[in-house]
Amino acid sequence: MSSFRCLVVSLPILVLFLGSLPFNANAITFRHPTNFSVGIEGIVFCKSCKLQGYDKSMDASPVPGATASLLCIVGNRGATVKATADSNGYFLIQTSTLTSFTAGKCRVFVKPSPLRYCNVAVYPGRGGAALKFERVLKLPNNELQVLYTAGAFVFGPRNVTLCPQM
């Protein structure tokens, strides 16, 4: 009986509390973005060649001008988008045409390094790199971009003596 009395006393308090909460019908409406793009970032390094931008902690230098390719395949459909690495070895592949592909069906490849003395793939190898989700960005034009990373691509010299000396 005492538990029933407690319920009777607490029920009006609960109703008053819930009634005092702000209610905004727009807050429960979900809008799906109609304009979004996909971005994939990564970086390309040359291991053991002390070039401009050399990072002593990694024993590697950035590879400018490397070509990164995003390849997505679903069934008999495939698509490729490319980007070129900047002076820091960083690349950003951006596209709005691949939104129907899932990240699991895509891989990133870097063509052999443009540096003839540092063109042996060390990591990730021939299989390319899988995409890893990073975050969703709001772009200045109110579009959304789903950003993934492909990580680091590392090339090395076929022969260490081929590395230019600084």
Strands 67-74 and 77-84: antiparallel
Average per-residue pLDDT for the chain:
75
Please determine, for residue 97, whether its predicted confidence score (pLDDT) is greater than 50: yes
Domain layout of the chain by residue ranges:
36-160
Please tell me whether residue 122 adopts helix, strand or coil conformation: strand
Which fold does the domain 36-160 belong to in CATH?
A: Immunoglobulin-like (2.60.40)
Q: What global pTM score does this model have?
A: 0.71
Token pair of 30 as six digits: 């979900």
Q: Which pLDDT tens digit goes with each residue over 120-140?
A: 888 887 788 999 988 888 877
Task: Enumerate residues 6+ apart whose C-beta is below 8 A from 101.
Answer: 72, 74, 79
The whole-number pLDDT of residue 37 equals: 80
The whole-number pLDDT of residue 100 equals: 64
Which DSSP symbol is given to 29?
-
